[in-house]
Chains A and B, each alone.
Chain A
């Protein structure tokens, strides 16, 4: 790899940018870095330390996946310019049904900008530069307190508006399928800081008994479908872009195609020895969780390359762990604390499988409904993370069996009063059902101010010892 003296250029080359892209992206990257508060030292730190430490950069696909996020963050810092040019700005928050955002882009690519700003900012700033703290601290100084354990994503969204990184949206279609704090943060932003922050919310009460198979409760599917239909109609009206149903179906097909490739990647990760660190492939599921305004194609290309490279490595019986090393499933592979995954790997255990990104058999079945909204509602409820813990435990047990995992890690979600609040209960349920060792680690997947490597090392080492002894 040709290395230049310019740290910005070095960074772009390291993250998979092609020679013919440099003239376009280099000045934009300089500008974006400045806007994000990234100094030359920060870029150097990412290039020379953070990325080489945690990512298998000899993989072209891995480098390109990082580059896709750089392209997206550059694009995000231009959102104000887009708005000034009359492009409609549509935001959302995790988790959401992405088909609608992608369908907007398919319908009017140059007239609409879609993003979940917090996820891209949090990922890029902390995973690549370990520099999300100024955003978090800004939010904490001005209304979203440190002590209450609020979510870093919500803080980031608020701070990014407050710091002028992003413009107010024409509409922020926010989803309260999981937590309460996400949607209420948008109300907070509007009242406390920016009256132009316009919002539409879609919510679903958590009111089903344990063990309910929620995607088979017709009235619930219908209710959710109606909520989505109303929401999307509102968004279209608000921004003056009409999306035909075919575009939703087209977006769904793209999404499914990407999902199938992701499943192939997961399958490769089950190889023994584990062919690559989970950190290196951590970015690939993101297009299933947040829409890329720059398009999913860049990530798909990176994914294709990675799959090809991994196939070769598997064929060569090469890996990052010894053959027969235990592999664990984790509720969600922490994106912003790569040291945690590495710590497991250094102790001879793979934190290999991502429960939330592993599709259950039910999720792989074709939809029961032709109507795109009913199909999307059914698909969402099949996922179970928004539903009752009984159903979620059942699906997780199935995933553990399918992946052949040697145990499971819950936790790292102590900021989330929905997802995080069931983990201790899920751990008990799953351990009872499977007999596998299931552990709980208190922590935070988005930031590590409270849960440092030093704080968690003993816990992780103990878990690894237990898992290895169980497998021996």
Chain B
């Protein structure tokens, strides 16, 4: 697992690296959300930086004077660390691309602007089955492409974009392969490590990452499994496990379960879907990012298709139980939780719903641990 540690170290030192690159004139572009194609940022010659921190309560509190109390902890975190003065990256970003598909994301973009951070918004219409909406997203991507060209002074040629897409496809392919190793009994890698691997992959240079992933893949094929045969196989579902929000995945695996699949909208690469490299590349980005991937919960309609996908994951990954990880006050996921719960009941798959506002103080950990341990224990029996 040294490779994972190496990637963790790269992630930790990423801010210093960005600072060095910035001094050399390389632009850094922060971005939020799965609809912002990293490919475009790479192709512009800028360095992408995913804004996806979470897992601590203090950054949420500091946002309250500017935002409704009952907003998503994840969204509040993205500006909260900055307002606390403990985010090393946000102050040096040349641009923030904020995906606007939900109210939470749009209000976050408002705050970025209010605090004079260089922000552009990528509108994502949730009524995704309409051609009008698809065209809207495509036009916004074209507009983003121009913004990135203006920022960097570089043309995003088709050649550069194609190269960037190929690199990203390579990363997706390697993550797919690594993920497949989790289907074995016992799995080669748990969810705590796989989620972190995904996170680290956002902060590693495009050239350095594929060899590391490849090495990890080969190593995992040979390595002795860490998990006992028969450990309950868990699927972790919900909106997002943010960078740093590892308490719940770790707790699940410390309690004797193993996370062998995720169904998360954000903070994880949508690695099952590649972007095509022939034809109109911008249209290809739209196809993959907006149309082909499983719709996020905010899209409409989405929930029936999401349940179908979840059921497929349960079958493919041989899942014993599902943990629905919900962030407080995320109203859409809260409703979806009931739909998932009903579907799981029909499938006779045990489901545990956990709600978090990133409060992991000792007082909160006791009941949380008991619930997770009891759930894992009940599955074992």
Task: Identify the A interface with B (CB < 8 A).
Answer: 143-145, 148-150, 176, 179-181, 183-185, 187-188, 191-192, 201-210, 219, 223, 226-227, 230, 388-390, 413-415, 417-418, 420-425, 428, 442
Residue in A181, A188, A203 whose CB lies within 8 Å of B125:
A203
Compute how far the CA of A417 lies from the CA of B126 in the bound complex, rounded to whole angstroms: 16
Shortest distance between the CB of A148 and any CB in chain B (Å): 4
Shortest distance between the CB of A218 and any CB in chain B (Å): 13
* Contact between A417 and B298, CB atoms less than 8 A apart: no
* Contact between B121 and A208, CB atoms less than 8 A apart: yes
Residue in A150, A192, A208, A223 whose CB lies within 8 Å of B334:
A150
* Contact between B335 and A188, CB atoms less than 8 A apart: yes
Shortest distance between the CB of A426 and any CB in chain B (Å): 10
Interface size class of B (residues with CB under 8 A): 35 or more
- Does B153 belong to the interface (CB within 8 Å)? no
- Does B140 belong to the interface (CB within 8 Å)? yes
Contact residues, B135-150 vs A (CB, 8 A): 136, 139-140
* Contact between B114 and A183, CB atoms less than 8 A apart: no
- Does B3 belong to the interface (CB within 8 Å)? no
Q: Give 1 or 0 for each of B105-116: 1 = CB within 8 Å of chain A CB.
A: 011011101100
* Contact between B124 and A389, CB atoms less than 8 A apart: no
Residues A210 and B113 in contact in the complex (CB < 8 Å), given A226-B132, A424-B65: yes
* Contact between A185 and B335, CB atoms less than 8 A apart: yes
Compute how far the CA of A423 lies from the CA of B69 in the bound complex, rounded to whole angstroms: 11
Shortest distance between the CB of A140 and any CB in chain B (Å): 11
Binding-face segment, B43-51, B254-262, B300-308: B300-308
Residue in B68, B101, B123, B302 whose CB lies within 8 Å of A417:
B68
Residues in B with CB closer than 8 Å to A223 are: 132, 136
Residue in A208, A209, A227, A414 whose CB lies within 8 Å of B70:
A414
- Does B281 belong to the interface (CB within 8 Å)? no
* Contact between B329 and A149, CB atoms less than 8 A apart: yes
* Contact between A227 and B103, CB atoms less than 8 A apart: no
Residues in B with CB closer than 8 Å to A181 are: 331-332, 335
Query: Nearest CB to that of B68 among chain A residues?
Result: A421
Residues A187 and B71 in contact in the complex (CB < 8 Å), given A143-B338, A180-B332, A428-B66: no
Residue in B113, B133, B304 whose CB lies within 8 Å of A191:
B304
- Does B284 belong to the interface (CB within 8 Å)? no
Residues in B with CB closer than 8 Å to A423 are: 68
Query: Nearest CB to that of B131 among chain A residues?
Result: A230
- Does B313 belong to the interface (CB within 8 Å)? no
Compute how far the CA of A451 lies from the CA of B15 in the bound complex, rounded to whole angstroms: 45
- Does B52 belong to the interface (CB within 8 Å)? no
Residues in B with CB closer than 8 Å to A413 are: 68
Compute how far the CA of A148 lies from the CA of B335 in the bound complex, rounded to whole angstroms: 9
Shortest distance between the CB of B40 and any CB in chain A (Å): 17
